[in-house]
Amino acid sequence: MKRVFSGVQPTGNIHLGNYLGALRQFVELQEDHECIYCIVDEHAITVPQDPKELKQHILDVAALYLAVGVDPKKSIVFVQSQVSGHAELGWILNCASNTGELYRMTQFKSKSQGKESVGTGLLTYPVLMAADILLYDTDIVPVGNDQKQHIELTRDLAIRVNHFYGKDTFVVPEGRFMKEGARIMALDDPTSKMSKSATNVHSRISLLDDDNKIKKSIMKATTDSDGVVKFDVENKPGISNLLTIYSVLSGTPISDLEKQYEGQGYGNFKKDLVEVTVEALTPIRDRFNEIRQSPELIEVLKDGAERADAIAQVTMKRVRKAFGLGL
């Protein structure tokens, strides 16, 4: 079977965009692939974190992995910092990368815009992401569309190293991107993607939001003044975003939704979207609450780290030899 790797940062609640863009793929892929899913805590510290809160967020994300349907019997689930190969390979790949390609990363340019200086981790974290992927001889990386540039960097680094140090040093991975629902936009600003870090809590729907919060966020969602339920990203980004969410959660084609709500305005549409969203997220929230309090969660992560490390050590032995490191 082909091997899959992906990871999510433990910073704040995972939102609907994360779920529809990546996590649903995690569950689908584990049925016929060898899957490795990581909580990437070393990525989280590219910006300052409260240590106690970070530890809680790590467990929250691990519990959410399981709550959405990731099965630790079918997939490896672990915490990045518990496998030393990530940091070691990250340094080696830093030495194989160049500053020009890192400065060109769209997310770095966005996060550093208008600032005289930013943390070095914000510049180099795409290389650590590449290390995360290449450490496991990954074939497929399921991620949101906003990560395409990082997947290309990973492929470039793998090809570069293979050219200079031996063609079998790294497997060159492929990204897997969802066509529908892969890019869920902010509810208050449908021209920007939904974000965990946005100051307005109603800009997003988190997987652990209660029913009242979900209702408020959807009813407050930005649309337009003409009241026509029609998918038109350029001219009607707000209602188009809501149509995408509705379609992906319900399995109803957008064209059918347009016919269903023809002439009804946005009120009925939003009320029904609240029901669809609550129905989709309630089982995840209930399952999360069960798993999060269970001592088995720690055991799942310990077992996952041991299984991941066994794979990583094989890769690192090959990489050290290729680069001439060690005795």
109 as an active site residue: the answer is: no
Cβ atoms < 10 Å from Cβ of 115? 8
Distances (CA, A) of 188 to 112, 182, 192, 195, 198: 23, 18, 9, 11, 10
| CA gap 256, 264 in Å, rounded | 14
Helix (H) or strand (E) holding 36: strand 34-39
How does 19-56 read in b/e, with b if 16+ C-beta sit within 10 Å? bbbbbbbbbebbeebbbbbbbbbbbbbbeeeeeeeeee
Q: Transcribe 70-93 into DSSP letters.
A: --TTTEEEEEGGGSTHHHHHHHHH
111 as an active site residue: the answer is: yes
Helix (H) or strand (E) holding 285: helix 265-292
Q: List the beta bridge partners of residue 76.
A: 36
196 as an active site residue: the answer is: yes
* Tokens at 55, concatenated: 């530890």
| Catalytic-role residue among 2, 55, 74, 111 | 111
| Catalytic-role residue among 74, 196, 213, 216 | 196
* Tokens at 309, concatenated: 């490390």
Annotated catalytic residues are 111, 193, 196
